[in-house]
Structure 1
Amino acid sequence: MKFGTRLVQFDAAPGDPLHPSATPIYQTATFAQEEADAFGKFDYSRSGNPTRKVLEDQMAALEQGTRGFVFASGMAAIATVTHLLSAGDEIVADYDLYGGASRLFGKVIGRAGLSVKFVDAQDLVSLDAAITPKTKLVYLETPTNPLLRILDLAAIVEVAHRHGALVCVDSSVMSPYLQNPLTLGADIVLHSATKFLCGHSDVTGGVIVVKDEKLAQEIYFLQNAEGTALGPFDCYLVLRGLKTLKLRIDAQQANARKVAEFLAAHPRVAEVNYPGLPSHPGYELQHRQANGPGSLLTFRAGSRIAAKRIAEQTDLLKIAVSFGSVNSTISIPAAMSHASVPAEHDRSIPDDLLRLSLGIEDADDLIAAFAQTL
């Protein structure tokens, strides 16, 4: 079946004799057991919940993995991946990461005896040189956030695996509809379910999908031991949002293309970064490894004050962190989503850079709003 069909054609309630069309919300902490010395399929919702299991299985199927796991946030998912490592191990990460990931890598994981080395993962020679026998994980996003650089997944996997390191890809900007890193050789793909998977700005969640069963067992152990799983009601909301993922992204991507073309032609806009524009340096690579450019774009306003004015005065676009919702949002990454990046981790994010997440509004209305503000 094609992707759009798979989003809605799945077993919503495995084993339920009533065959409900929507997955029930098993809003319970415990499950009564038939025996006092043996557990059934479910016993305690931290360890497993039927609503969560449906979502985890659906995410594994959509990412073409073997097992999926959902967490209370995207950061909980990222933190779980770092817990696969031991004291003395090293992470090599691309320098352009979500601000929360940069904060975790720069300020937290060192307490557990882990180290992180930031590199430009577009430069495969530098990446190869940065990996040492201590390196156990190569971590990256593509497209990156917020600079929208495109990294060559297959090539990075080849370099990392040659050194025996795992590869984890944060694919939140793409969703499983547009990109499947596991099919390109990555070991772990993760998402902030808060973004496109939910799509309505009403859930905070995270997802991990893997192919290797041994790795899956380790991640399940951590999810259960640390108690980081997503609750059943939030799982239900993500399952509901997933059903319209293709429809939403098709509309959002179409809007992004039109807005990007308008901004690129506007005399007061200095620079537009959007992987769907042929002028983008990663245009061809994005076309080869993904099924679309997505609906995130950035542009330069010329000054910090101009960026602030545009963000505050453009009608229809809410000022908000995060992205991927049905409503369009605008933000200044240097002051918002990436303000928590440690000072010693020089990201060089311009303070006049505006990030747009295009929603499903009418493109003409969005363009009119920008035309008036500019």
Structure 2
Amino acid sequence: MTDQHNEHHPSEHFETLAIHAGQPADAGTGAVVTPIYQVSTYKQDGVGGLRGGYEYSRSANPTRSALERNLAALEGGRRGLAFASGLAAEDCLLRTLLVPGDHVVIPNDAYGGTFRLFARVLERWGVTWTVADTSDPGSVRDAVQPRTKAIWVETPSNPLLAISDITALAEVAQQAGAKLVVDNTFASPYLQQPLALGADVVVHSTTKYMGGHSDVIGGALVAADTAFGEELAYHQNAMGAVAGPFDAWLVSRGIKTLAVRMDRHCANAERIAAMLVAHPKVAEVYYPGLPEHAGHELAAKQMKAFGGMVSFRVKGGEDAALAVCDRARLFTLGESLGGVESLIEHPSRMTHASAAGSPLEVPADLVRLSVGIEAVDDLLTDLREALA
């Protein structure tokens, strides 16, 4: 299982790969869906005689292996790895890449949990970091230091939906001898392929669009290089924060409908962003699909569509933003994103509370929407009433 890339026909489209790549009919029964191998250990044919490479399910499990092959195919990578959460995937990646004294460039707009991992955990172990505006390659280049080992990017970013030029940043990383890490959670591999644009490794919270139904926690890494993928796999096994069989199965099931769901997420988000731009109580809208968005042209170039996330600032400050969150009905007040149901949240007090007082602090009047796949007219009515 050292190279998971070319198991499919090169002409197959994403929608076909999502359903079939790494997911052959079960050899024992002919089941068309990979079974849940809810098993901890495996019979060996003599000492060290492993059947299919399986000995213990922390090291490998058939259900998880099927998901990992699928992830590699969808991202166009050489090795996919599935974890118990997105942060578990990030932790494995960073402990594979870094030793005390190393340096990382991190974005000025990123998930609060990612910032917390750098600022509250890795910093204690001697890893340093510098914040840069990753939408400006020059800013990233200026932030690079002699011991920079990784440049970390979210595009679109969380929660301000900034767009970063993956190809340009890959050149900066290569010149610095560093890895370019792209968190592709907001876009999903259906909308964006960072490895094809020069990234070294992709990170996902599979909890979000990949799972798609708010019923599983998971994470993933996909490496462009086989050797680096093997390093990650070694640390995955050594550290042990792997996806369980049932969680891997749920993510695999979600991926099969990723394309059709993302089409609806994007279409709904475009309608909602347009409504918010025209609303008298909205001060500013962040959505890369808007022509006035600073990253619109770049997003149109490196993404298939503009995604299902929309953020906006409310006139009247924090209290007005909190009131909108409280009054929404179809938009459920809750953290996370990417599920079929629409969610609304106040990042400053919720997902990004850990960034308070830091360069990543978000505006207190900001509201973030994860636009679901409900009837868009119902969602528009709900937001208009919440803003009224």
3-state SS of paired residue (1:248): helix
Corresponding residue of 1:47: 59
Count of residue pairs the alignment pairs up = 373
Match of 1:223 in 2: 236
Identity %: 44
Shift of 1:15: 6.2
The corresponding residue for 2:350 is 336
Equivalents in 1 of 2:15, 2:215: separation in Å?
23
Q: 1:34 aligns with which of 29, 33, 45?
A: 45
In structure 1, the residue matched to 2:3 is none
Aligned-partner Cα distance in 1 for 2:93–2:215 = 25
Alignment of 1:92-241 (within 5 A): 92-241=105-254
* Further displaced range: 250-259 or 117-126: 117-126
Q: 1:194 to 1:37 in 2, by over 3 A?
A: closer
- Cα distance between partner residues in 2 of 1:307 and 1:278: 25
Deviations 1:81-111 (A, max 9, x none): 1102111111111121100000010010022
Matches for 1:52-91 after TM superposition, within 5 Å:
52-84=64-96, 85-91=98-104
Provide the rounded CA distance (Å) in 2 between the counterparts of 1:137 and 1:230.
25
| 3-state SS in 2 of match to 1:250 | helix
Secondary structure of the residue that 1:252 maps to in structure 2?
Answer: helix
Counterpart secondary structure, 2:123? helix
Aligned alpha-carbon RMSD (Å): 1.2
For structure 1, the 5+ residue unaligned runs are: none
Provide the residue aligned with 2:324 in structure 1: 310
* Distance of 2:142 and 2:292 partners within structure 1: 30
Distance 1:362 1:38 in 2: 55
CA distance in 2, matches of 1:272, 1:295: 14
Aligned residue for 1:308, secondary structure, equals helix
Q: Name the CA distance, whole Å, in 2 between partners of 1:3 and 1:14.
A: 19
Q: Is this contact kept in 2: 1:274–1:280, CA < 8 A?
A: yes
Q: Distance in 2 between matches of 1:252 and 1:110?
A: 37
Deviation at 1:279, TM superposition (A): 1.3
Check conservation: 1:13, 1:24, Cα contact below 8 A: no
Does 345-354 or 244-253 show the bigger shift?
345-354
Distance 1:17 1:327, change over 3 A: same
Quote the offset at 1:17 in angstroms.
Answer: 3.7
The one-letter amino acid of 1:24's match is P
Q: What amino acid maps onto 2:321 in structure 1?
A: A
Name the CA distance, whole Å, in 1 between partners of 2:254 and 2:66: 14
Whether the 8 Å CA contact 2:26–2:33 is kept in 1: the answer is no
CA apart distance, 1:13: 4.3
- Long gaps (5+) in structure 2: 1-11
Deviation of 1:115 after TM superposition, in Å, equals 1.1
1:8 aligns to 2:19 (yes or no): yes
* TM-fit CA distance, 1:45: 0.1
* 1:342–1:43 distance in 2 versus 1, CA, 3 Å: farther
TM-score normalised to structure 1 length? 0.97
